[in-house]
Amino acid sequence: MPHSPPPTSPPPLAGVRVIDFTWIVAGPTCTRLLADFGAEVIRVENQQTLDSIRFGRPHPNGFDPPDSSGMFNWLNRNKRSITLNARHPDGLDLLKRLITVSDVLVENYSSRVLESWGLGYEQQRAIREDLIYVSLCGFGHSGPQRDYGTWGPTAQALSGLTAMSGFAGEEPAGWGYSYLDHMAGFTAAAAIAAALHHRRRSGEGQHIDLSQVESGMVLTGPATLDFTVNGRRYAETGNPPGNRSVWPRAAPHNTYPTVGGDNWIMITCTTDAHWAELCSLSNHPDWRDDPRFATLPARLRHEDELDDLLAVWTSAQDGRALMLRLQEAGIPAGIVQNGVDLVERDPQLKHREWTARRNHEVIGEHETDGLPVRLSRTPAHRDQPGPRLGEANEYVYGELLGLDPEQITELMISGALG
């Protein structure tokens, strides 16, 4: 290794404390990144309104919430958990004290929840001036639809992303998962890193107002400009095009069936050279010599015939073997992998040690996934499983806030600890 890190360099966000009022997927995705990068993330939970992901499937070792969900464990590794009821006066007081010793507060509630506790940004700022407050909701903290709600699919539909997936003339295929829960979470994490950097240089905190729908609309730049500049509406021109190319134009560019049922390979000949290589490795000089396929414009005009021919050729072949042959010839091709393929049959991820075994008190031995961004000197970590509900009460209320065990017990009995 040319770059040899000192073995003890802590992750880059070590020393940052985050109060985590997030739930479901978007917020926890954000705080997972922060935690993997070394921040101390304290999930604040209320037993009366628990994160429904604590009940989410799968439950690898049997259904025994609140600590048995694999989904929860996956989204919340490396975090701590305390219980607290912010609507109880003593709970709110504890929360304010926690703010005094924290750097970031993240929440993904509806847009007026923290205000209703008397904890809008101005009040937070009065408690700790340099706090970074992140609100992540559907429509942001301003505008006429501020009080509307979103889930991932809602935001995907409203941003345009759902309509950009599928076959023209059919209903959209959309997204088979809450893509914008991931992306809003990543967007928030990037903004927090930037705000932390600013704070380290200036001492200033700030409010980051994030709208989940906007986090999707920024991903439609060229299509939106095609409308605002050229006046072209997305659906006018045969969009969405299934798996064919939009920009840059390319053909063949599609999924083709391979043996074994629902198995598919994506082949994208992005240059004429790729196409020539494909004709040669498939023993089809007739394709190469066919004027319908001689140039990219010609192939685009005859894409139906081209795709039909290729599908006949691929459908008798093993997808993985075909992918290797195509890649050996330098043609961009890849099989469609599902989650199980990724953990069991992906040699690249295996080589890069994508999964690692960890233990969890309730779930038991399990695998955790990797981090796609590897810092040579201050690497992220994936050491701790998701927290059991309230497991850090003693640490946070005792060690951080200096309460003695009797006080903690009293607060527990009074209901302040949710």
Active site residues per annotation = 181
Q: Which of residues 234-273 bind other proteins (CB under 8 A)?
A: 234-235, 239-243, 245-250, 253, 255, 257, 264-266, 268, 270
Q: Which stretch binds other proteins (CB under 8 A): 84-92, 178-186, 279-287, 409-417?
A: 178-186
**Measured distance CA(56)–CA(67) in Å, rounded:** 10
Total residues in contact with other proteins, by rule CB under 8 A: 160
Contact between 380 and 11 (Cβ < 8 Å)? yes
- Distance of closest approach, residue 397 Cβ to other proteins, in angstroms: 29
Contact between 338 and 263 (Cβ < 8 Å)? no
68 binds other proteins (CB under 8 A): no
98 binds other proteins (CB under 8 A): no
Among 65, 120, 370, 398, binds other proteins (CB under 8 A): 370
Q: Which of residues 144-173 bind other proteins (CB under 8 A)?
A: 144-145, 148-155, 157-167, 170-173
Among 50, 55, 60, 318, binds other proteins (CB under 8 A): 60
Helical (H) or strand (E) element with 80? strand 80-83
Q: Which stretch binds other proteins (CB under 8 A): 86-94, 231-239, 295-303, 406-414?
A: 231-239
347 binds other proteins (CB under 8 A): yes
**Measured distance CA(123)–CA(125) in Å, rounded:** 5
- Distance of closest approach, residue 131 Cβ to other proteins, in angstroms: 12
Pick 121 or 397: Cβ nearer other proteins: 121
**Measured distance CA(85)–CA(244) in Å, rounded:** 51
Q: Which of residues 324-343 bind other proteins (CB under 8 A)?
A: 327, 330-343
Among 97, 366, 381, 388, binds other proteins (CB under 8 A): 366
Checking 336-339 for CB contacts under 8 A at 24+ apart, the result is 336/255, 336/263, 336/264, 336/265, 336/266
Neighbouring C-beta atoms of residue 235, cutoff 10 Å:
12
- Distance of closest approach, residue 113 Cβ to other proteins, in angstroms: 14
Tokens 């975090």 locate to: 79
- Distance of closest approach, residue 68 Cβ to other proteins, in angstroms: 11
Q: How far is CA 236 from CA 125, 159, 226, 413, in A?
A: 49, 18, 11, 63
**Measured distance CA(357)–CA(363) in Å, rounded:** 12
Q: Which stretch binds other proteins (CB under 8 A): 40-48, 81-89, 96-104, 345-353?
A: 345-353
- Distance of closest approach, residue 43 Cβ to other proteins, in angstroms: 18
Contact between 37 and 379 (Cβ < 8 Å)? no
Q: Which stretch binds other proteins (CB under 8 A): 81-89, 230-238, 280-288, 398-406?
A: 230-238
Pairing of strands 366-368, 356-358: antiparallel
